[in-house]
Structure 1
Amino acid sequence: PFGIGHLRSTIIGAALNRMYQKLGYRTISINHLGDWGTQFGNLIAAYKRWGSEYTFAGDPIKDLYALYVRFHDVAKDDPTFEQQGRDEFRKLVQGDTENLALWQRFVDYSMQDFNRVYRLLNVEFDHLTGESFYRDKMGSVIKRLEEKHLLTWSEGATIVDLSAYDLPPCLIKKSDESTLYATRDLAALLYRRKTYDFAKILYVVGTAQKLHFQQFFKVAELMGYDWVKDQAVHVDFGWVKFAGEMMSTRAGKVIFFDDVLERAQSLAREIITRENPGVDNADWTAEKVAVAAIVFTQLKVRRNKDVNFVWEEALSFKGETGPYLQYTHARLSSLIQKYGKTLPDLGADFGLLGEEEKEVVKLFEFYQAKITRCAEEYETLILADYLLELASAFNSYWQRIRIITDDVELTRARMQMAFATRTIIADGLRLLGIEPLERM
């Protein structure tokens, strides 16, 4: 299922991708799906034991997840059932027809659900090539490791000894000859290098996988691929906590994205109808506000820090939130509509602007530099903070100064400033994956 735990990887990667594109880079976005591995053997074992109890009709993802949790509940007290999961995965690797059909069915269910969520989040990928894509490409990896004399046998598994680099051994193959995460990542890295000839490759994956990437990158270097040191980057990020608790898929405590969105949308609808009873398309607006709240909460935090999702804070129209930026954009849109004249106004005399306005205008020149810093540091916080600073500066100015006055020329200059502010906020929100709203 698409849980809140999947969210940061998805939206950080998508935001960085948009920023690189804006800066003129040619980018390739890949969704490296976890669609291969022992977990599918576990699912198949659970399905063969309990599958008849589920319909997989209305919400197949929740049925699959129930099987997943049920497997681990039983396996923790029954090692033979855990072994059955490994056996089923081995059969899958060997091409067992029944298991391949079940695996494809489970993947199809998952992708239907994931694609629906990606549309909600304004996320697109160039390629959906998961781990399964590389299952027939690992022979060349093993051969290269053998040629470099890197493989050793230890406690029933094939490993690369990394003790000389103060790292634990990197597991390459299990005793049953099935490959592991690192082997598939090596195959994927070499395929991407050959196919795309990239200048840099970013892996947007949680901090929990930090050791894996240290091992994986080191093994790639030892295989003779020195470019990895400069061109492969692990863009790590912290956990998402909900009510102060980290979520675990295995423990059955995952928070479904749909459940979070539904509650956020309900709260957003209450706020919107209270603040603006006559708003058009209240449900559509509430969905966009809810997505903004969820997304911005993830992106405004330094990525190596944990995110603690708090409903009231995330959905507030005041303070450091996505809805606050949307609300500022909507107010600016209303002001521009009220002004009723063509913008941008190239004839505006900016010499008429005083110190009050210059506090806002001086922020304009930093926008492009902020995006560049985001790309250099792989840090969305920089843009999020900038947008909040710009919105706060304009709103503070707006509280003190009447923008539309009898002075036609001064009004023209001020409205041009308002238009520029709205343009930057709209562009910045879209880079983050948030829809700017005309009305709220």
Structure 2
Amino acid sequence: MKRDIAQTLNELLSNKFSTIEIEKMIEKPKHVDHGDLAFPCFRFAREFKQSPADIARDLGGAFVCEGVHKVNVVGGYINFYLDIPILAAKVMSDITTQGSHFGEKQVGQGKAVTIDLSSPNIAKPFSMGHLRSTVIGNALANIVEKVGYKSIRINHIGDWGTQFGKLITAYKKWGDEEKVKTSPIVELHKLYVHFHEQAELDPSLNDEARLWFKRLEEGDAEAAKLWEWFREVSLHAFSLVYELMGISFDSFNGEAFYNDKMSAVIDMLERANLLEESDGAMVVRLDEEGLPPCLIKKRDGATLYATRDLAAAYYRYENYSFAKSLYVVGNEQSLHFKQLAAVLKKLDVPWANDLVHIPFGMMLKDGKKMSTRKGKVVLLEEVLAQSVKIAQAAIEEKNPTLAKKDLVAKKVGVGAVLFHDLKVFRQNDVHFSLEDMLRFEGETGPYVQYAHARACSILRKAKMDMQHGWSTTYETFGEEERPLIIQLHAFEDTISEAVKEWDPSKVAKYVVELCQHFNHYYAHVNFLQNANEQEKQQRLTLIYSTTIVIKESLRLLGIDAPEEM
């Protein structure tokens, strides 16, 4: 409908603009009573030497378009009220024929988008602090696939760096092999925390840790053996959490993978005369870009994040020929990614602008940032398990005869944790609250899942064949159906906005609003009683279309949609 309205407007504007340009200007009014769509005329005042109100009045008075049953002009805005029976026929024809493919586009044309996400550190627990990168990145991967890209999920594991010198030092001084074998992540984390506590009393421990990491970089057998062991047990522990969340990866190439690829990058920088010495370290100056120097090598010759990320960027482009390379990493790393792109531009890399940092806020507990260094951490695995347990208790209380209770509880419990994160605009902080996550009212995962299950229950009770007999005309539809139809119609635009802004919360907020409209419709329309067969068929087709879009919205967020709860 947006396209049809834009085309009609452009014709009235003597085709002075592109239809696509006009379509982008059409917006959703803030208030429902102001129409279904609105077109602001302010930008045309200079072009036509008229006031926006006069332009809106002239355009509105001449506007005629199939599917728009009323036009209302308010100030410089033209408000459009869509013809619900016509819109319903189009939207629900698309949904019932396309099913889960509804809303798909081929914008990406099969091009690759690499997504650097999750990236927990080896030998540290998978905390709630890691949740954000994991679920935002996974949702973005699903969303870009929806519009025709091929996503490459890369878990850039933190398996290198001075923390391994600290961990090896701690293990050598205080470690117990049997305890680590029995409960690796817990014990290794304890050792890591203990190291920092002791280093505050004895700073020489930091020097010892640096020496152990230097030995690891130089290929020392003992250091390498311990490092490989820590990495192996950590990846196994991480895999259990990823499996519970239903998240998989195309690559686990972490920092260590690029150890033999950094010298080529350093050579490149030297050949381009970009490396300079600064207090014994090697840097690339970025004064012209208004940025501090990018540190490539420390005084002791050790490499840094920037060196590895430069090597990783080259490797990913050479192996995947990405259209975009996304880095789902916290707000605090914004400077690092600005420096990364700036260095690549100095190297005249044509794809430097295709690197995109996707920043996000922190996960807070009691208003404070979680810290693995100080041991103030909430383990994601424990949160997921607790959430599932609470969901199990709720099911036992409300629906004890439910089939596959444990499976449904898992979907609800895990979905609650994921949705609580994804409903928040990614650059805002998220406040950890298990109680808030599991509410069945408000903007929560269980609320959306329950709306889906309720809609599925209606269809089962009506015994409608989900493959045949859906309505194709909707003459009986009116104001009661309007909000639900308009929201279903908005699904495609929501996907486009989520891709444009790299923001999964667009989808989460959309599906909450869809469920709110559905629940209102369910509460106010007694559609299975006192209705003729035609009305029943039309209303059930609307319910069926709603289940498809709710389920697909949740899938894009990485969340399951149970048919019974």
Corresponding residue for residue 372 of structure 2: 249
Does structure 2 conserve the Cα–Cα contact (< 8 Å) formed by 1:9 and 1:204? Answer: yes
Corresponding residue for residue 171 of structure 2: 47
Question: Shift of the alpha carbon at 1:196?
Answer: 1.3
Q: 1:118-151: CA deviations, max 9, x gaps?
A: 1111111111111111100011111011112222
CA distance in 1, matches of 2:464, 2:521: 22
Corresponding residue for residue 183 of structure 1: 307
Q: 1:9-59: CA deviations, max 9, x gaps?
A: 011111111111111112211111111111111111111111127512332
Corresponding residue SS for 2:282: strand
CA distance in 1, matches of 2:178, 2:274: 47
> Which structure has the greater CA radius of gyration?
2
Q: 1:264 aligns with which of 387, 393, 396?
A: 387
Does structure 2 conserve the Cα–Cα contact (< 8 Å) formed by 1:54 and 1:63? Answer: no
Does structure 2 conserve the Cα–Cα contact (< 8 Å) formed by 1:348 and 1:409? Answer: no
Q: 1:19 aligns with which of 143, 146, 158?
A: 143
Q: 1:184-233: CA deviations, max 9, x gaps?
A: 0000001111111111111110111111111121112112214312x110
Does structure 2 conserve the Cα–Cα contact (< 8 Å) formed by 1:265 and 1:287? Answer: yes
Corresponding residue for residue 402 of structure 1: 526
CA distance in 1, matches of 2:408, 2:183: 26
Does structure 2 conserve the Cα–Cα contact (< 8 Å) formed by 1:32 and 1:131? Answer: yes
User: Which is further off, 301-310 or 358-367?
Assistant: 358-367
Corresponding residue for residue 328 of structure 1: 451
Corresponding residue for residue 397 of structure 2: 274
Q: Does 1:283 align with 2:406?
A: yes
Corresponding residue SS for 1:312: helix
Map 1:386-425 → 2, pairs under 5 A? 386-405=510-529, 406-425=531-550
Normalised by the size of structure 1, how large is the TM-score?
Answer: 0.96
Normalised by the size of structure 2, how large is the TM-score?
Answer: 0.76
Q: Does 1:339 align with 2:462?
A: yes
Q: Does 1:73 align with 2:197?
A: yes
Corresponding residue for residue 214 of structure 1: 338
User: Which is further off, 198-207 or 304-313?
Assistant: 304-313
CA distance in 1, matches of 2:485, 2:237: 44
CA distance in 2, matches of 1:88, 1:369: 54
Does structure 2 conserve the Cα–Cα contact (< 8 Å) formed by 1:236 and 1:304? Answer: yes
Corresponding residue SS for 1:104: helix
CA distance in 2, matches of 1:373, 1:122: 25
Does structure 1 conserve the Cα–Cα contact (< 8 Å) formed by 2:470 and 2:538? Answer: no
Q: 1:264-285: CA deviations, max 9, x gaps?
A: 2232223222222322333332
CA distance in 1, matches of 2:274, 2:200: 35
Instruction: Pick the structure with more helix per residue.
Output: 1
Q: 1:428 aligns with which of 553, 561, 564?
A: 553
Corresponding residue for residue 417 of structure 2: 294
Corresponding residue for residue 85 of structure 1: 209
Does structure 1 conserve the Cα–Cα contact (< 8 Å) formed by 2:439 and 2:447? Answer: yes
Corresponding residue for residue 54 of structure 2: none
User: Which is further off, 217-226 or 423-432?
Assistant: 217-226
Corresponding residue for residue 94 of structure 1: 218
Q: What is the root-mean-square deviation of aligned Cα atoms in Å?
A: 1.5
Q: 1:37 aligns with which of 158, 161, 185?
A: 161
Does structure 1 conserve the Cα–Cα contact (< 8 Å) formed by 2:282 and 2:297? Answer: yes
Does structure 2 conserve the Cα–Cα contact (< 8 Å) formed by 1:348 and 1:412? Answer: no
Q: Does 1:367 align with 2:496?
A: no
Give the counterpart letter for 1:172 in structure 2: I
Map 1:166-205 → 2, pairs under 5 A? 166-205=290-329
CA distance in 2, matches of 1:383, 1:31: 24
Q: 1:91-140: CA deviations, max 9, x gaps?
A: 11101111111111111111111111111111111111111111000111
Map 1:147-166 → 2, pairs under 5 A? 147-166=271-290
CA distance in 1, matches of 2:524, 2:182: 55
Gaps of 5+ in 2: 1-124
Gaps of 5+ in 1: none
Corresponding residue SS for 1:28: strand
Does structure 1 conserve the Cα–Cα contact (< 8 Å) formed by 2:470 and 2:537? Answer: no
Give the counterpart letter for 1:262 in structure 2: A
Give the counterpart letter for 1:7 in structure 2: L
Does structure 2 conserve the Cα–Cα contact (< 8 Å) formed by 1:41 and 1:87? Answer: yes
Does structure 2 conserve the Cα–Cα contact (< 8 Å) formed by 1:243 and 1:310? Answer: no
Corresponding residue for residue 381 of structure 1: 505
CA distance in 2, matches of 1:234, 1:184: 16
Question: Shift of the alpha carbon at 1:353?
Answer: 2.1
CA distance in 2, matches of 1:58, 1:242: 29
Give the counterpart letter for 2:300 in structure 1: D
Give the counterpart letter for 2:480 in structure 1: E
Question: Shift of the alpha carbon at 1:165?
Answer: 2.5
Does structure 2 conserve the Cα–Cα contact (< 8 Å) formed by 1:42 and 1:71? Answer: yes
Corresponding residue SS for 1:172: strand
Corresponding residue SS for 2:343: helix
Corresponding residue SS for 2:395: helix
Q: 1:140 aligns with which of 264, 282, 286?
A: 264
CA distance in 2, matches of 1:77, 1:187: 38
Corresponding residue for residue 434 of structure 2: 311
User: Which is further off, 364-373 or 265-274?
Assistant: 265-274
Corresponding residue SS for 1:416: helix
Corresponding residue SS for 1:158: strand
Does structure 2 conserve the Cα–Cα contact (< 8 Å) formed by 1:3 and 1:255? Answer: yes
Tell me how many residue pairs correspond in the alignment. Answer: 439
CA distance in 1, matches of 2:399, 2:367: 33
User: Which is further off, 212-221 or 273-282?
Assistant: 273-282
Give the counterpart letter for 2:441 in structure 1: K
- Percent of residue pairs bearing the same amino acid type: 43
Q: 1:116 to 1:89 in 2, by over 3 A?
A: same
